Amino acid sequence: MAHKINDDCIACGSCLPECPVNAISEGDIYAIDAATCTDCAACVGVCPSDAIHQA
């Protein structure tokens, strides 16, 4: 399992420094590398758009 960022992402960057395994990459909307994500959920609470959910 991994977490996923949906279209509600506003590319604010809040989640980026929270990920302990650097699974999040920048873009028009941010993305989580499913192969790297450990499903820790550290990024979920910092997203102001509630765009990060378990895939």
Site for ligand SF4 in 14-33 (CB under 6 A): 18-19, 21, 23-24, 32
Judged by CB under 6 A, does residue 51 bind ligand SF4?
no
Structure tokens at 2: 């991994």
Judged by CB under 6 A, does residue 41 bind ligand SF4?
yes
CB 9 within 8 A of CB 30: yes
Q: Quick one: which of 39, 37, 48 has its CA closest to 14? A: 48
Judged by CB under 6 A, does residue 47 bind ligand SF4?
no
What's the rounded Cα separation, in Å, for the pair 12 and 26?
Answer: 9
- Contacts with ligand SF4, residue ranges (CB under 6 A): 3, 18-19, 21, 23-24, 32, 37-43
